[in-house]
Structure 1
Amino acid sequence: MSPLLPGRYYHIYNHANGDDNLFREAENYRFFLQQYYKHIDAVADTLAWCLMPNHFHLLVKIKNEEALLQTFPKFETLEKLLSKKFSNLFSSYTQAFNKVYQRRGSLFIKNFKRKEITSAQYLQTLVLYIHLNPVKHSFTKETTEWPWSSYHYVHAHFEELPFFREIFENKNSFLAQHTLKLERFIEYIALEESLTR
């Protein structure tokens, strides 16, 4: 699997091991986010995210090399540093989760997936994909109804977020793109259902 590199954008995602859930109740989501920011904030800027019962999606930009070396001057390689930070996140969450629910073993699939994002168009598409994922997996029918994603924060603070202004231009475009994708998705599901009756 290719390493995470400084200054690059990545789609990072992972799934629960087997049929397990990563999140069983609201406190699990809150605790994961707490652990996430504790371990990841120093190495990456999180631009979009969504947590669902059995998996999650993130859009991150790894901090530049200078910032990483300034904060972590003694680490052997940046590749090991970044890998260790994500490993610590998953390990700390799993240990706490296992203790609460009296379970054993790994909670996450061993190697988290990552895909480098290299174009502005792909960044926009990925933001929409992440925010609409709960609808795709039938956890909710509206993006606005799912509490565990960055959608609400971006909606409320759009003007303060240069990344979103750059890829969506303005708040109306941000909202319209989400609505359009949702409508197309609903049309597709209806078509699929009519063909399988």
Structure 2
Amino acid sequence: MLTAYCLLGNHFHILIKIKEESDIEFVNIADKSAHDLVAHQFQKFFQSYAMAFNKQHARIGSLFQKPFKRVLINSEEYFTKIIFYIHANPQQHGLTTDFRDWQWSSYKRILIDKPSSLKKGEVIEWFGNKESYIQFHDDNRKLIIQQEGY
């Protein structure tokens, strides 16, 4: 399930939550973890996208500079921090003075009560409520500003 995202000019971040391995039905998969299976599916997706893009634009060669990175979120603290990290990324890269205004991020979308494939309710519940979600992001934004010397 899609939990958070941020699209930037030269890269993007997405946070997805997958089912527990015990809840996944494996068919003819020998010694593969759920993490490995998801990583493989993303590799296939990026490869297919690059091939279609190259065909559409009559070009050849690599489309992406580096292979995608994936990180296993293995603690509640890290999960909380990674949501903020994803949302704050445009400000960290100097693309905006306030990440909360970044149009291509899930930060504001999570606050909207409109159905989507983004798991907004789960994120809000994770932080306790909308006010706590906003407060966490505001408090951590202040730390960014202090680090940047504003």
TM-score range, shorter chain: 0.7 to 0.9
Unaligned runs of 5+ in 1: 1-44, 192-197
Question: Of 43, 47, 61, which aligns to 1:91?
Answer: 47
- The answer to whether the 8 Å contact 1:123/1:167 transfers is no
Match of 1:49 in 2: 5
| Structure 1 position 125 matched with structure 2 position 81 | yes
Change over 3 Å in CA distance of 1:122–1:74 after alignment to 2: closer
How many residues get paired?
143
Match of 1:64 in 2: 20
Change over 3 Å in CA distance of 1:86–1:48 after alignment to 2: same
Q: Decide which moves more: 172-181 or 112-121.
A: 112-121
Q: Decide which moves more: 97-106 or 130-139.
A: 97-106
Counterparts of 1:189 and 1:84 in 2: how far apart (Å)? Answer: 38
Report the AA paired with residue 102 of structure 2.
W
SS where residue 114 of structure 1 aligns? coil
Report the AA paired with residue 163 of structure 1.
E
| C-alpha distance after superposition, 1:55-84 (max 9, x if no partner) | 111222122346542xxx644345464343
Map 1:16-165 onto structure 2 (within 5 A): 45-65=1-21, 68-69=24-25, 74-77=27-30, 78-79=32-33, 81-109=37-65, 111-157=67-113, 161-165=120-124
Counterparts of 2:7 and 2:142 in 1: how far apart (Å)? Answer: 22
Report the AA paired with residue 4 of structure 2.
A
Counterparts of 1:136 and 1:187 in 2: how far apart (Å)? Answer: 12
Change over 3 Å in CA distance of 1:111–1:75 after alignment to 2: farther
Q: Decide which moves more: 95-104 or 129-138.
A: 95-104
Report the AA paired with residue 190 of structure 1.
G
Change over 3 Å in CA distance of 1:97–1:148 after alignment to 2: farther
- The answer to whether the 8 Å contact 1:75/1:81 transfers is no
Q: Decide which moves more: 47-56 or 148-157.
A: 148-157
Counterparts of 2:79 and 2:144 in 1: how far apart (Å)? Answer: 19
Identity %: 36
Counterparts of 2:91 and 2:59 in 1: how far apart (Å)? Answer: 30
SS where residue 115 of structure 1 aligns? coil
Counterparts of 1:122 and 1:83 in 2: how far apart (Å)? Answer: 20
| Structure 1 position 182 matched with structure 2 position 150 | no
| Structure 1 position 167 matched with structure 2 position 126 | yes
Counterparts of 1:82 and 1:116 in 2: how far apart (Å)? Answer: 11
Q: CA deviation at 1:155?
A: 1.4
Report the AA paired with residue 93 of structure 1.
Y
Higher relative contact order (CA 8 A, sep 6+): 2
SS where residue 42 of structure 2 aligns? helix
SS where residue 77 of structure 2 aligns? helix
Q: Decide which moves more: 76-85 or 163-172.
A: 76-85
Unaligned runs of 5+ in 2: none
Report the AA paired with residue 114 of structure 1.
R
